[in-house]
Amino acid sequence: MQLMSVLNLDLTKEIQRLKKEKNAIVLAHNYQISPVQDVADFVGDSLKLSRLAGETDASYIIFCGVHFMAETASIISPDKKVLIPDLEAGCSLASSINPNELLKWKNENPDAVVVSYVNTSAEVKALSDYCCTSSNAVKVVQSIPESNTILFLPDMFLGAYVAEVTKRKNIKIWPGECHVHAGITDKDINRMLNKYVNAEFMVHPECSCTSSTLYHISNGDINGESKILSTEGMMNEARVSKNNQFLVATEVGILSRMRQENPSKEFIPVKEDAICKYMKKITIEKVYNSLVNDVYEVKVPEDIARKAIIPIERMLAIS
């Protein structure tokens, strides 16, 4: 069916009907636009969505996030049909390392343990020992014996944060970055912290200001509370915190869910234009199109999936 011919239908209702008819679930990342989050069965961060992909009985998973997340879901649930509504939903961070670059790095460090952030391609995961997400990166690194050198990739800010928290000296960090989070700088943070002196401050570990934030926290330079959290960690904190005003340093898509779930609290983005264009590729029209036309399937070749599942399962075991 042509997209144009359904413009007058209530897409939301149609999506709900199709989900039942096909035994499909919609998983949406916290950065998705509100209409997509509204039609989702579950909204969450990378770790939560990976877990849900492994637990669901649904026949179809419509993954509203970026490509590596859909690949991870397909690796975890090879018997499910995983669809992504737009194949152009990529990730600048995942693109910052390819399998050949990792192979070269491994050859230069033959005894090292490779820890890959989940924002990597399936091929890179297949060459890794452990995967981690922003919510369990510290625990994953802590689970590796002190004597092992670690190759941490691809996010240099998350790597610097993990090295600082774990106090490990033998972590080598790949110089990759996410263009959205790298754009949230010390200058942005300081300007907002000076303006909202009593707000609680929540920052994603991919932000370029993370290391200096750690420094400010340890020096007691920040008046209000401050926490370095994954996107789902931020959602939990927004719910349980006694504070009423929050400064949020991450992609701004998370704010609509925060405001919806906590109507009496105020959430202020540290940077209004911290927008991931890849996450915004997905619309409800495209979700509908996925359900109607079974597009676009994300399937990882079996030989890659067989290797990539090992670091992913290690990641899921450590939360």
Using CB under 6 A, pick the residue from 192, 258, 279, 305 that binds ligand SF4: 279
Q: Which two tokens stand for residue 98?
A: 């390819």
Q: Can the peptide bond before residue 205 be classed as cis, meaning omega within 30 degrees of 0?
A: no
CA dihedral 301→306→311→314, nearest 10 degrees, is: 130
28 binds ligand SF4 (CB under 6 A): no
Query: Minimum distance from CB of 20 to ligand 13P (Å)?
Result: 28
> Within a 10 A sphere around the Cβ of 150, how many other Cβ atoms?
24
Query: Minimum distance from CB of 308 to ligand SF4 (Å)?
Result: 18
Q: Which two tokens stand for residue 278?
A: 């890849």
Is 216 assigned a ligand-binding role in the annotation?
Answer: no
Measure CA 317 to chain center. 18
- Find out whether 192 and 184 touch, Cβ atoms under 8 Å: no
Is 118 assigned a ligand-binding role in the annotation?
Answer: yes
Positions in the binding site for ligand 13P (CB under 6 A): 30, 45-46, 119, 133-134, 178, 206, 230-231
Is 134 assigned a ligand-binding role in the annotation?
Answer: yes
- Find out whether 188 and 209 touch, Cβ atoms under 8 Å: yes
Question: Which residues 55-114 are close enough to bind ligand SF4 by CB under 6 A?
Answer: 66, 91-93
Question: Which SS3 state, helix, strand or coil, does residue 121 take?
Answer: coil
Using CB under 6 A, pick the residue from 24, 137, 276, 300 that binds ligand SF4: 276
C-alpha–C-alpha distance, residues 222 and 204, integer Å: 16
Between 120 and 133, name the residue whose CB sits nearer to ligand 13P: 133
Which of the choices ligand 13P, ligand SF4, none does residue 45 contact, using the CB cut-off of 5 to 8 A by kind? Answer: ligand 13P
Is 204 assigned a ligand-binding role in the annotation?
Answer: yes
Using CB under 6 A, pick the residue from 40, 73, 124, 178 that binds ligand SF4: 178
Return the range that interacts with ligand SF4 (CB under 6 A); candidates 70-78, 134-142, 177-185, 186-194: 177-185
Question: Which residues 127-146 are close enough to bind ligand SF4 by CB under 6 A?
Answer: none
Buried b or exposed e, range 249-281, using 16+ CB within 10 angstroms: bbbbbbbbbbeeebeebebebbbeebbbebbbb
Is 231 assigned a ligand-binding role in the annotation?
Answer: yes
> Within a 10 A sphere around the Cβ of 202, how many other Cβ atoms?
26
Which residues are known binding-site members for [4Fe-4S] cluster?
Answer: 91, 178, 276
Would you tell me which residues interact with ligand SF4 (CB under 6 A)? 66, 91-93, 119, 178, 180-181, 251, 276, 278-279
Which residues are known binding-site members?
Answer: 29, 46, 91, 117-119, 134, 178, 204-206, 231, 276
